[in-house]
A and B are shown apart, each in its own frame.
Chain A
């Protein structure tokens, strides 16, 4: 097990370096003046351009620039935004909100997704199963902003069940609708994945042997079928995190949730390139960490990895 952990950590290092390098490269190694390009059609005041030029050390060779950038990231110095506020401060303020939103979304998608997927898989071919398949297929096809607007319109404006935007401080009840929206596509994927996994596990030999021992179906389903089916679902969580990050950007923007995503959303809309770069870098780093954690969780769930011979 320790060997597995060490190997994963060692593998993560070149990926980490490569990814940060790539992001930096994309922004600063392109032809033309990167600072002006970062601002798109908008022209910031000349002082800002000067400040940013010095900040990003554009007079130095590219590799040095990158290393300084990397060093800064690890020291927590993420530069300053357009308005002069340190990016790290912004992150510290907005991160807890996004964390609440994300956890809520993961909770919804896992609980609902696994439950429906399980029933669907156990009752393959039934009306419930067919409906679950159709509904999940439609949900997967809806881009997140479409889901967000439809939800906002139907549940917020027409039915009035929820606020259309989140109030200051982002209390939990305001986050429910955005969390459901955020969870939608992932929920549909988890339903399908769980269903496929359950169908596959139900046909395995050890399930029949468990029944031959005299175990009741009520015991076999959670202990043998569900437990084994969870392994691929957990693996999916790692990829799902990437989807959630993108989704959060859009969802927070639409519902005005004061989180990391909205800040990024506004920075993109306003063309604040440097802020975008810093935020994306941090998000990617978190994504890598989450991937690592999921790999560890996978080892916990599967004793074949934990106790390799």
Chain B
């Protein structure tokens, strides 16, 4: 470990020299369409002991920049120009051997997905010991094993001795990420690069891991470079912020300053569209109206077609008031689903769940993985049969409806699923995909169906010419619009949105949320919105049901759940929304 006595003396000199300095970095890839420049002239300066976050959407070049620093670009990626100076040494010019000694020892790396980043056939102990040996921290079997146990303990894993012999698939996601963090810091590197270290984890686990990362790096004095798509998270956890867009830096500087006074139109877009910031702002100002006003003062004009989430929430408030007196569109009573697992007995995925959704409103079902929320959705759509309980839609109990009655009932409830790349048949063109509901339910003639398809494309703001094209030519957001159009084809009353925006970039997500809000107002739709992201809930839902391990833990209006949460789990979920320490608008 570092020698603290000498360190204080040398640190003053080191203080003035940046640890990491990137000058005019350019990185390119060879693709079938030609050469693509993913990173185009990036400049970045980082001093010892600081923390810096690079924020951007997918395609911004943030991950590519991080990978370029340790020269682990995937596939055909190459550094085209510029310098990457680590303590004066230019890594862009370093040889393979030099890079091998820099990695692990001087720069540690924590990757995004804990499952795919650990070799499944070797034990955890093997992989940790590998890192220790390769960086010369310890030699000899006993020493190496001792150090490995230390690393795991530091990672927060108890009974580290036993854990060493286990395999990655026997660990939970959070535990695996801790191991990866431990491995990254095992050699006590000066710089730690963390590439979206928590986006593959459950929401409550995210905060714990981030806190753990923060305390570890502070203890060791490690400089932290952070990649994320969440602006709120970046501002909360990092002192310096760099915003990237299409391979270039559009804004950089102290994170608080940028958040309170974003100047580049792109940053302003991000600020307006980030659910975590929107939700925090509403909480700290007390109401949606007050939040919208404070946005006006702080953020300045929001560019062109940007989506202001708070404005979306504001527009909803009126609908909610009107809906209070309407009858319920869906009534769920004591719904239970038990799965029989071969060799492991019964598994209660859904346990005595009851709730109601008034017509024309949005109810959010919130929970982490394994909470049972998706199973509830599937039962509502009759994709799974309930073990017991009632689901009453349009006055009829779904359990007892069969045959042609069920067929007719299906046209009243339609789903939109999470994965935009899996929800459209890749071999059918867009027009046929949207028309399939119409054909299945014998709607009109070919001509009238065509008209309806065009009508729907208009409704979701997509050009009519797309009807002859295929899903592979569209982006994720556009595919979700098609999925929404298909869901609306038969003029249903209810839409079940199962994590419908979770896989989308933040700006596109805001657009889709706006679209959904507009459609709800226009067509008097009822939404069951399933998500793990409470921040989004704040902006789009009227009522919230919090689910944990198959049960509903708390259910109330959005305002109540956010202002006066009763259960500890709900409080944990609320605390997990990034940006807790930011003061917005107050």
Contacts and interface: CB of A to CB of B under 8 A. Distances in A.
In the complex they form, do A and B come into direct contact, defined as C-beta atoms under 8 angstroms apart? yes
Interface of A: 3, 203-206, 208-217, 219, 223-224, 227-228, 231, 301-304, 307, 309
Contact of B135 (A214, A223, A301): A214
Contacts of A307: 166-167, 169-170
B109 A304 contact: no
A209 B109 contact: yes
Contacts of B103: 211-214
Contact of B117 (A209, A215, A231, A309): A209
A223 to B, nearest CB: 8
A304 B120 contact: yes
Given A208-B74, A211-B103, A309-B169, A302 B118 contact: no
B240 to A, nearest CB: 23
A212 B170 contact: no
Contacts of A304: 120, 167, 169
A217 B100 CA distance: 9
A213 B169 contact: no
Provide the main secondary structure of the chain B interface. Answer: loop
B111 interface: yes
Contacts of B74: 203, 208
21 contacts: A3-B343, A204-B116, A205-B117, A206-B116, A206-B117, A208-B72, A210-B119, A211-B72, A212-B111, A213-B183, A214-B102, A215-B104, A223-B130, A224-B119, A227-B121, A301-B121, A302-B120, A303-B120, A304-B120, A307-B169, A309-B170
Given A205-B113, A211-B72, A215-B131, 4 more contacts: A206-B119, A213-B183, A217-B96, A302-B121
Nearest to A228: B121
Given A216-B100, A309-B170, A209 B70 contact: no
Interface string B129-147: 0110011000000000000
Pick from A209, A216, A231 the residue with the most CB of B within 10 Å: A209
Interface residues of B, number: 38
A214 B101 contact: yes
- Chain A's interface: helix, strand, loop or mixed, by majority? helix
B180 interface: yes
A309 B170 CA distance: 6
Contacts, number: 94
A303 B167 contact: yes
Contacts of B105: 214
Contacts of B101: 214
B134 to A, nearest CB: 5
A214 B187 contact: yes
Contacts of B167: 303-304, 307
Given A205-B111, A217-B96, A303-B169, A212 B104 contact: yes
Contacts of B127: 210
B75 interface: yes
Contacts of B183: 213
A215 B119 CA distance: 14
Contact of B130 (A3, A213, A302): A213
B61 to A, nearest CB: 18
A213 B96 contact: no
A215 B109 CA distance: 13
A280 to B, nearest CB: 36
A3 B344 CA distance: 12
Interface in B163-197: 166-167, 169-170, 180, 183-184, 186-187
Interface pairs A-B: 8 shortest CB-CB: A214-B104, A212-B109, A205-B116, A213-B131, A214-B103, A209-B117, A303-B167, A206-B119
Contacts of B134: 213-216, 219
Nearest to A225: B119
A268 B484 CA distance: 66
Given A214-B187, A215-B134, A209 B180 contact: yes
Most B-side CB within 10 Å, residue of A214, A224, A301, A303: A214
Contact of A228 (B100, B109, B119, B131): B119
A224 B122 CA distance: 9
Contact of B111 (A208, A227, A302, A303): A208
A173 B167 CA distance: 45
A307 B100 CA distance: 34
